[in-house]
């Protein structure tokens, strides 16, 4: 397991996690009437490890993506770091505070946005929820108005803040959720799948907004997502977690170099190729009409390209890294294969 340290130089990390773990006791419900009656007197339970001994450090101003399949422990980790739940064991500090102690100073310095939960009042206009946030965080009226106006203009939602939230689309609501979360100018922002269910235009708008605000304020941001486009657009550092454990912690460039040995070469031809000629190339390939997609070892790219381009029927060629989705999915599958023998032994 590789754990990179996010701290820069001797600076104290904004987030420091050591051996953090969270376990839940789950009661099994058996099938059938008789078994259900028996379970009233003798319930069977098992322990589920949502997070297993995670170590992590994040420096001020970092934008970190937290990737993992459903049930990997991503949201549980964010909930512990934001103080919503208490860990079973381990330690963590955020901005020098233990999150689950819920100190007032800590709660004023971070924000949590969960894509599937609302913090805005459903039947009221967002402007009213913004006013409530002003009172909760005791924000200076002039500064509050200036920050609110800047955020709503960046997202282009000024015309929406007087509409009841229930009348807005999912993308519009998420933009207003982000405004509400940032009104008190937090130093740390936790984002749990903020673009889930959004269309491409809304995703692009939110990406541009988050890049701007994060760079301007030098916020520390941890983002959980299933969308690789979120990661590529926003993050330089990637943490892959599955089974409650960190599998990879490093840069996007490093994960490509570390877990792949080849590149993907795509040839667009003027006609569908001769299968025999494609077979003679000696590379794994996929033929899609006049398009041929080959997987070529990185060390052989320089020698292979002249041979491929010798055919006068080549109209275009592209050389790309293996998609991040494919790399991460491979990590998940490898972790699943390793975990199966361990589960069986238990």
For the segment 229-247, what is each residue's pLDDT rounded down to a tens digit? Answer: 899 999 989 999 988 889 9
Q: Which residue has the tokens 């101003």?
A: 61
pLDDT at 58: 97
Close Cβ partners of 280 (under 8 Å, ≥ 6 residues apart): none
DSSP, residue by residue, 99-145: GGG--HHHHTSEEEEETTS--S-TTSBHHHHHHHHHHHTT--HHHHH
* 46/53 Cα distance (integer angstroms): 19
Domain boundaries for CATH 3.40.50.300 within the chain: 15-257
Burial letters 92-108, b for 16+ CB under 10 A, else e: bbbbebebbeeeeebbb
Domain boundaries for CATH 3.30.70.120 within the chain: 262-321
Superfamily for domain range 15-257: P-loop containing nucleotide triphosphate hydrolases (3.40.50.300)
Given a cut of 70, the residues of the chain with pLDDT beneath it are 1-10, 30, 35-40, 116, 312, 338-346
How many distinct helices (H) and strands (E) make up the chain? 12, 13
* 23/95 Cα distance (integer angstroms): 25
* 341/346 Cα distance (integer angstroms): 9
Burial category of 221 from C-beta neighbours within 10 Å (exposed 0-12, middle 13-18, buried 19 and up): buried
Long-range contacts of 120-125 (CB under 8 A, 24+ apart): 120/165, 120/173, 120/176, 120/177, 120/180, 121/165, 122/164, 122/165, 122/166, 123/164, 123/165, 123/166, 124/164, 124/165, 125/161, 125/162, 125/163, 125/164, 125/165
Q: 314 in the Ramachandran plot: left (φ > 0), alpha (ψ -120 to 50) or beta? A: beta
- CB-based contact 102:83 (threshold 8 Å): yes
Q: What is the CATH architecture of 262-321?
A: 2-Layer Sandwich (3.30)
Instruction: Indicate if the alpha-carbon torsion angle 74, 263, 250, 232 is positive or negative.
Output: negative
pLDDT at 3: 45
Distances (CA, A) of 196 to 199, 202, 226, 303: 9, 10, 8, 43
Q: Which residue has the tokens 């890294």?
A: 321
């Amino acid at each position: 397991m590789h754990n990179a340290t996010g701290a820069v130089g001797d600076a104290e990390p904004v987030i420091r996690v050591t051996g953090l773990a969270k376990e839940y006791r789950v009661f099994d419900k058996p099938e059938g009437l008789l078994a259900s009656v028996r379970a009233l007197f003798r319930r069977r339970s098992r322990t589920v490890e949502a997070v297993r001994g995670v170590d992590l450090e994040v420096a001020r101003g970092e934008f970190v993506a937290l990737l993992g399949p459903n049930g990997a422990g991503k949201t549980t980790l964010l909930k512990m770091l934001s103080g919503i739940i208490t860990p079973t064991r381990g330690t963590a500090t955020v901005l020098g505070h233990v999150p689950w102690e819920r100190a007032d100073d800590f709660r004023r310095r971070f924000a949590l946005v969960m894509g599937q939960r609302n913090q805005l009042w459903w039947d009221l206009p967002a402007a009213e929820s913004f006013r409530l946030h002003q009172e909760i965080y005791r924000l200076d009226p002039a500064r509050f108005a200036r920050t609110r106006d800047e955020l709503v203009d960046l997202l282009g939602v000024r015309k929406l803040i007087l509409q009841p939230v229930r009348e807005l689309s999912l993308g519009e609501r998420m933009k207003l959720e982000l405004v509400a979360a940032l009104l008190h100018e937090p130093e740390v922002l936790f984002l749990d799948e903020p673009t889930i269910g959004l269309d491409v235009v809304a995703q692009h708008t939110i990406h541009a907004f988050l890049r701007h605000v994060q760079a301007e304020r030098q916020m520390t941001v941890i983002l959980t997502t299933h969308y690789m486009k979120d990661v590529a657009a926003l993050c330089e550092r990637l943490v892959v977690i599955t089974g409650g454990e960190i599998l990879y912690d490093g840069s996007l460039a490093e994960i490509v170099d570390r877990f792949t040995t080849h590149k993907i070469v795509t040839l667009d031809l003027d006609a569908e190729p001769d299968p025999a000629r494609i077979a003679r190339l000696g590379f794994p390939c996929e033929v899609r009409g006049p398009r041929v997609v080959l997987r070529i070892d990185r060390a052989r790219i320089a020698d292979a390209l002249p041979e491929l381009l010798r055919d006068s029927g080549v109209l275009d060629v592209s050389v790309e890294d293996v998609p991040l989705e494919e790399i991460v999915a491979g990590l998940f599958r490898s972790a699943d294969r390793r975990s199966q023998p361990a589960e069986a032994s238990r």
